[in-house]
Amino acid sequence: MTEASKRAGTRQWVGLAVLVVPCVLASMDMSVMFVTLPSLTADLQPSSSQLLWIMDAYGFLLAGLLITMGTLGDQIGRRRVLLTGATAFGLASVLTAYASSPEMLIATRMLMGIAGASLAPSTLSLIRNMFHDDRQRATAVGVWTAGFAGGAIVGPIIGGLLLEHFWWGSVFLINVPVMFLLLVLGPLLLPEYRDPKPGRFDLLGALLSLVAVLAVIYGIKLTAEHGFGWTPAACIAAGLAVGALFIRRQRTAVNPMIDLALFRTRRFNVPLLIDALATFAMVGFSLFNWQFMQLVLGMSPFESALWSLPTFLVMPVGIALATAMAPRIGKPNVMTAGLLVAAAGYVALSLIRTDSGIVYLVSALAVVSIGIGGVAAVVTEVILSAAPPERAGAASALAETSAEFGGALGIAVLGSIGTAVYRSQMESQAPAGLTGKELAAAEETLGGAVDTAAALPDQTAQALRSVAFDAFTHEMRIAAVVSAVLTAGGAILIATALRAARDRPGPASPVPGQTAQHGSRDRADELAAPTPTS
Q: pLDDT of 114-165, one tens digit each?
A: 888 877 777 777 777 777 777 777 777 777 777 776 676 677 777 777 877 8
* pLDDT at site 483: 93
Name which residue leads in pLDDT, 429 or 28.
Answer: 429
CA-CA distance, 375 to 446, in Å (whole number)?
33
The answer to whether 43 touches 167, Cβ cutoff 8 Å, is yes
Residue 6 phi, psi (nearest 5): -75, -30
Rounded Cα gap, residues 344 and 353, in angstroms: 17
Is the pLDDT at 524 greater than 50, yes or no?
Answer: no
More confident residue, 260 or 92: 92
147 burial class (0-12, 13-18, 19+ CB within 10 angstroms)?
buried
CA distances from 389 to 12, 131, 196, 323 (A): 17, 11, 11, 21
HEC letters along 215-260: HHHHHHHHHHHHCCCHHHHHHHHHHHHHHHHHHHHHHHCCCCCCCH
pLDDT at residue 224, as a whole number: 61
Closest CA to 257 of 446, 443, 401, 365: 401
Separation of CA 456 from chain center: 40
Which range among 65-74, 253-262, 356-365, 422-431 shows the weakest confidence by mean pLDDT? Answer: 253-262
> What is the DSSP secondary structure assignment for residue 500, as one 8-state letter?
T
Using pLDDT thresholds of 50, 70 and 90, give the confidence band for residue 507.
very low
pLDDT of residue 458: 84
pLDDT for the residue 227: 67
Report pTM.
0.70
pLDDT of residue 498: 67
The CA radius of gyration of the chain, in Å to the nearest whole number, is 23
Tell me the pLDDT of the chain averaged across its residues: 77
- Are residues 522 and 134 in contact, defined by beta-carbon separation less than 8 angstroms? yes
Q: Are 10-189 and 264-507 equal in CATH topology?
A: yes
Fold of the CATH domain 264-507: Growth Hormone; Chain: A; (1.20.1250)
Alpha-carbon gap, residue 149 to 373, rounded angstroms: 8
Nearest CA among 97, 96, 87, 92 for reference residue 111: 92
Residue 388 banded pLDDT, cuts 50, 70, 90? low
Q: Return the domain boundaries, the chain.
A: 10-189, 202-254, 264-507
Superfamily of domain 10-189: MFS general substrate transporter like domains (1.20.1250.20)
